[in-house]
């Protein structure tokens, strides 16, 4: 436990130092376009510390949300959504139930497909409302922001960053279909990197490698319906043809909520930084636990 607490402090300090470099002479102005749900819980603490360091923070969020609530540490700008709180919570709970249920690869894939389709429809409608909210976008254009902090798993933040012509800082766990590998040009060989739902390790025999390659094919199908609406939306909003990879290529820093203690090792680029310890909660350890941990 002492090691977990120490790792959390080290990761939090590193993350704050990285984001604190938005401006050398004075606090920077940070635009946060965030994904609701559990990812916000990791980000909220980071924003509190950045505010203490003198940075000005503006959070853009939908009026209907699970966890994103106003605080004294940032300015919150909201926009209306075409769905209710009940509809959002019902779809999220159904998705979580489907993901956690056991079954064959095909059963799990079909359930994941259906759940992602329902959630994707809600989120793309929310993103559309944001981008075409003229009053809010005009405020952002005149805001003088230094960077956008966002989770690129849903590309609304990268679209805004491209429109505002400011750098993107990505804070994420991962992106479906291996798009984070493609966007950063990281090697992703099926003989080494296990695909989702396979339960393989990074040590596979020949037949497992072949199966790993075959099971990667449905990912392209999943990505088509999840991200294709964003391609159309981004191209219309930016008034030029763009792809999701084009948007992700613009990421200046990738802050990955991974840790190779729990995740299989994978190739990384220099601008990809592991901050998996940020998910560890602050907890005061009893003195006896610290002594026992040191003894072990």
pLDDT of 178 > 60? The answer is: yes
Reported as a single tens digit per residue, the pLDDT across 124-176 is 889 999 999 999 999 999 999 999 999 998 899 999 999 999 999 999 888 87
DSSP label of 282:
P
pLDDT band, very low/low/confident/very high, at 16 (cuts 50, 70, 90): low
229 or 38, higher pLDDT: 229
Which residue in 184, 130, 135 sits closest to 161, CA to CA?
130
Tokens 């635009």 correspond to 31
Give the lowest-confidence range in 74-78, 177-181, 198-202.
198-202
Complete domains list, the chain, with CATH: 2-295 (3.40.50.2000)
pLDDT of residue 7: 52
Could you give the maximum distance between any two Cα atoms of the chain, in Å?
A: 63
CB 30 within 8 A of CB 149: yes
Q: Three-state SS for 17?
A: helix
Reported as a single tens digit per residue, the pLDDT across 196-228 is 767 787 788 899 888 888 877 777 777 777 788
Q: Which of 105-114, 129-138, 287-296 is the most confident on average? A: 129-138
Q: What values do phi and psi take at 62, rounded to 5?
A: -70, 155
pLDDT of 22 > 60? The answer is: no
pLDDT of residue 193: 79
* C-alpha count within 13 angstroms, C-beta hemisphere, residue 191: 2
pLDDT of residue 281: 59
- Angle subtended at Cα 244 by Cα 67 and Cα 35, rounded to the nearest 5 degrees: 5
Give the lowest-confidence range in 1-5, 7-11, 181-185.
1-5
Sheet of strand 147-150, all strands in order from the earlier edge strand to the far edge? 75-79, 56-62, 29-33, 147-150, 168-172, 251-256, 272-274
């Amino acid at each position: 436990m002492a090691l977990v607490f120490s790792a959390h402090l080290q990761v939090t300090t590193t993350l704050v130092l990285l984001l604190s470099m938005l401006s050398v002479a004075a606090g920077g102005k940070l635009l946060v376009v965030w994904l609701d749900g559990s990812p916000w819980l990791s980000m909220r603490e980071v924003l509190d510390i950045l505010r203490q360091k003198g940075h000005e923070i503006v959070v853009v969020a939908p009026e209907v949300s699970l966890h994103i609530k106003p605080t004294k540490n940032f300015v919150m700008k909201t926009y209306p959504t075409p769905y209710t709180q009940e509809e959002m919570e019902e779809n999220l709970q159904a998705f979580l139930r489907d993901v956690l249920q056991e079954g064959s690869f095909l059963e799990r894939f079909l359930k994941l497909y259906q759940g992602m389709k329902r959630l994707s429809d809600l989120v793309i409608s929310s993103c559309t409302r944001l981008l075409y909210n003229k009053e809010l976008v005009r405020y952002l254009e005149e805001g003088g922001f230094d960077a956008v902090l966002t989770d690129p798993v849903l590309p609304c933040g990268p679209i805004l960053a491209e429109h505002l012509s400011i750098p993107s800082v990505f804070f994420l766990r991962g992106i479906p279909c291996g798009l984070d590998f493609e966007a950063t040009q990281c090697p992703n060989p099926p003989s080494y990197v296990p695909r989702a739902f396979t339960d393989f390790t990074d040590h596979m025999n020949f037949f497992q490698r072949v199966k790993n390659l075959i099971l990667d094919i449905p990912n392209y199908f999943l990505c088509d319906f999840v991200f294709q609406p964003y391609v159309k939306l981004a191209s219309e909003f930016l008034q030029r043809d763009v792809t999701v990879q084009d948007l992700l290529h613009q990421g200046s820093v990738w802050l990955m909520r991974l840790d190779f203690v729990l995740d299989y090792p994978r190739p990384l680029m220099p601008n990809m930084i592991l901050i998996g310890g940020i998910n560890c909660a602050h907890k005061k350890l009893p003195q006896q636990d610290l002594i026992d941990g040191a003894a072990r």
